[in-house]
Structure 1
Amino acid sequence: MRRKRSTPWIHRWSRPLMAGIASIGAVVTAYLTYSKLAGNEAACPTGGCDIVLSSPYATVFGQPLALFGFLAYVSMIVFAIAPLLVRSPEQKGLREKLDTWTGLLLFMGATAMMIFSGYLMYLLTAEIKAICVYCVGSAILSTSLFVLAIIGRDWQEVGQLFFTGIIVAVVVLVGTLGVYANINNPSLAEQSASETAGPPITTTSGEAELALATHLQQIGAKMYGAFWCPHCHDQKQLFGQEAFSKIDYVECSPNGQGSPPATACIERGIQGYPTWEIKGQLLQSGTQSLETLANTSGYSGPRNFSNTLPGL
């Protein structure tokens, strides 16, 4: 009698492992999606997260990129657990079919996610020049899903699997380049000044805002930011149009208006936007209340500021 060949442990546990990994990714991307839609800063041990998550690359078709990541992880969870939910012996045939088809879908999905994450890693190092732990973590999760998708089952047609992976990789890479074509297009340098200066400042400046701006100008304070940064726009709104025109503002985005000084942002070690430099010291990145700027800079003028934002 032939001894029945035992099933490798990785084949038995690959789907639960993939479901667990995808669940971690789903929770993280759900949090990032909420933070983006709510306009909140994501908790991050490094300042680079704010730069990355506020960049043009973090929005696709008008929606947060994290939302599409969430949908991808949820899909992987469904593919991973679908055959496991069929427990009845009478439905053995259905379970085998689900196992075969979802196994291929898991491989295709993991391949797509790994390729896209790889491109994001390229953007972090070559274009955005900042590190986001969430993006790096997602790349690790995607790679783990890809490895488990391959070793987690006994593939009969390795050549066909390899061919399928190549097709998926090419489609994802071409699609990604197409989605980000406008951002990477050199013609951005020829965009109108209004487009590269960010949204217009719609608030007016009171006497206190003008006085604070004049004081910051006199002591050589600087604000480092990017035209696409929503927190930078909030900071401008606090000052108002007239007062902010007095602020020494340094544009850090290569595509932004006044971009040549962007090297100053790198040399100064700017990790998030906006970042204020007052008396040679860098404040923690993020929108600062006018009271905070007044206290930090030693301002002694009127403080009846007329412009406010929730939470500041």
Structure 2
Amino acid sequence: MNRNRSLPWIYQKSRWLIGAIALLGFALTSYLTITKLTGNSAVCWAEGDGCNIALSSSYATVFGLPLSLYGGIAYLSMAVLALIPAIVKLEDKSQGDRLENWSWNLLLIGGTGMTAVSSYLVYLLAFELHIFCPYCLASATFSLSLFVLTLLGRLWEDWGQVLFTGILVAIVTVVGTLGVYANEAPPTLINGRIPIPALKTASTPGIGWDITTKSSTSEIALAQHLSKIGAKMYGAYWCPHCGEQKLLLGNKALSQINYIECDRKGKNSQTAQCHAAGITSFPTWEIDGELYPGIQSLEKLAQLSGYEGSQDFKYIIPGLK
């Protein structure tokens, strides 16, 4: 009788299942990594754009690189460990047995570590950021599935050793993760939104401050609507309130806005147009022929312009109505 046929199906298919789930996790984290590195917003159906809030938080970057990049490496490693022994059959039985044992032990270590990290990140989502991130929860589900399949997918000879290894790896992983995030202060959300960061002490001459905030799909849609109806934002590169207005919109949305630079020393200055429009303070918005001086909240811009799209805006200026 063929020995493989006498094994439970989970033992026969576990490596393929682990490999498939790991490749799904790799695809997910690759998408998030590319999105993060290119400065784009992830497609998100969560209320309040929780996906992009999570991706733009300080927790989403480790040692200057996207956290999802490390996750992608972990998923790819798990896929290789699971599939290579299933695909490559060594003629030397002793070498094949060693590859089998080493790969399972490494899968146990990897699955345990990934589950420990994912559990901590889910805790941060629920109790620190207070947001719902489908991508994050999907990744956590993948990690847990890899861990469970590793435990159930093999006839382990020494469960005491498995338990000892799992506990040790989990402790080391949690301690290391806490150490990495020890100096990360979670953002204080206001009504589920992130307060804009403080401007640096000095702006770049002729250009202004770097706009580091990343627009969500709602900001981009509002900006496209404002551009479509001919709305304009008048400002000056040295104006702090103009910088704050730009941060509120985010970099992608700002690129859609018809921004008029009023200082003749600024880049692409249009001073004559500012004088013709009667601009006396910055920023000033012109919407449907009316001037609205001062920083405007995104809700106010939506109201003034007749915007009827999604208002799950990402950032907020405390106290601005």
Give the TM bin, normalised by the shorter chain. 0.5 to 0.7
Residue of structure 2 equivalent to 1:101: 102
Distance 1:97 1:173 in 2: 29
In structure 2, give the amino acid aligned to 1:28: L
User: Which residues of 2 match residues 61-210 of structure 1 at below 5 A?
Assistant: 61-88=63-90, 90-184=91-185, 197=198, 202=204, 203=207, 208-210=233-235
5+ residue gaps, structure 1, are 187-194, 212-216, 250-274, 288-312
Taking the aligned partners of 2:75 and 2:85, their CA distance within structure 1 comes to 17
Distance in 2 (alpha carbons) for counterparts of 1:41 and 1:117: 22
Counterpart of 1:259 in structure 2 is none
Contact map agreement 1:56 1:183 (CA 8 A) in 2: yes
Q: CA deviation at 1:93?
A: 2.0
- Counterparts of 2:151 and 2:163, CA distance in 1: 10
Relative to structure 2, which stretch is displaced further, 76-85 or 233-242?
233-242
Aligned residue in 2 for 1:58:
60
Range 132-141 or range 91-100, more displaced: 91-100
Correspondence 1:246 to 2:294: yes
Shift of 1:149: 0.4
Distance 1:123 1:239, change over 3 A: farther
> In structure 1, what residue type is equivalent to 2:146?
L
3-state DSSP class of the match of 2:42? Answer: coil
The number of residue pairs the alignment matches comes to 240
Unpaired stretches in structure 2, ≥5 consecutive residues: 188-195, 210-231, 237-241, 267-281, 285-292, 316-321
Are 1:21 and 2:46 an aligned pair?
A: no
How many Å separate the matches in 2 of 1:152 and 1:78?
16
Task: Determine the C-alpha separation between the residues in 1 that align with 2:313 and 2:17.
Answer: 38
One-letter identity of the residue aligned with 1:106: L
- Counterpart code for 2:25: G
User: 1:238 and 1:101, CA in 2 relative to 1: closer, same or farther beyond 3 A?
Assistant: farther
Q: What does residue 226 of structure 2 align with?
A: none
Local SS of the residue matching 1:87: coil
3-state SS of 1:247 partner: coil
CA distance in structure 2 between the partners assigned to 1:114 and 1:76 by the alignment: 13
Amino acid at match of 2:154: R
Change beyond 3 A, Cα 1:101–1:233: farther
Matches of 1:3 and 1:68, distance apart in 2 = 41
CA shift for structure 1 position 160? 1.1
Q: For 1:107-126, what per-residue CA distance to the aligned partner results, in whole angstroms no more than 9, with x for missing partners?
A: 11011111111101110011
Deviation at 1:82, TM superposition (A): 2.1
CA displacement 1:150-171 (0-9 Å, x = unmatched): 0000111111110111111111
Contact 2:299 2:311 in 1 (8 A): yes
More moved, 276-285 vs 15-24: 276-285
Question: Are 2:311 and 1:283 equivalent residues in the alignment?
Answer: yes
Contact 1:223 1:276 in 2 (8 A): no
**Alpha-carbon spacing, 1:208–1:105, altered in 2? closer, same or farther (3 Å):** closer
What is the match of residue 45 of structure 1? 45
State TM-score, norm by structure 2: 0.64
What corresponds to 1:33 in structure 2?
33
Q: Deviation at 1:239?
A: 8.1
